[in-house]
Amino acid sequence: MGMTTLQLDGNDFSILLSFYSEVGKVFTKDLGWEIGRNLDAFNDVLRGGFGVYDCEEPIQLIWLHSDKSRMDLGWEETLKYLTKKLKTCHPTNVEAVKRDLAMAQSYVGKTLFELIVEIIKTHNHIELMLR
């Protein structure tokens, strides 16, 4: 049996919310419930065990049209994400999020695309290919 290969297609989403929907479609199967719409939930899903592959099972993830995603999940979407996060985060995180937001306003730090790629790369069982 070969390695499980999954594909995220940048043409199928353009904002963070539709990215989460695409992740739900690709990474989960027959769950009967939707995954959380946040990066922590995304991180959990990557571990596996959500119907498509087992926990820590080696997989190959091909991100098609990743250049489009790099633009779509760039600074504008990052600013929206951080602005929303500031309103909903735990009081102890407010200063850190404010700092991230101030940096993002000057295009410093990481975009959502870079954060997402970084999260994927923390999972040693996932081989990521940006196409």
Average the pLDDT over 34-57 and give the result: 93
Q: Which range has the worst mean pLDDT, 10-14, 29-33, 35-39, 93-97?
A: 29-33
For residues 19 and 2, the model is more confident at 19
What residues does each domain of the chain span?
1-70+112-131, 75-110
Residue 33 has pLDDT above 90, yes or no: no
Domain at 1-70+112-131, CATH from 3.30.420.40, 2.130.10.10, 3.40.50.720, 3.30.370.10: 3.30.370.10
- Report pLDDT for 1: 61
- Cα 119 to Cα 27: distance, rounded to the nearest angstrom: 15
Read off the tokens for 124: 């040693």
**Could you give phi then psi for residue 109, rounded to 5 degrees?**
100, -150
- Report pLDDT for 47: 95
Q: How confident is residue 2, by pLDDT bands cut at 50, 70 and 90?
A: confident
Q: What is the overall mean pLDDT for the chain?
A: 95
Average the pLDDT over 2-27 and give the result: 95
Number of H-type helices and E-type strands within the chain: 6, 3
The whole model's pTM is what?
0.94
User: Could you tell me which residues are beta bridge partners of residue 7?
Assistant: 62
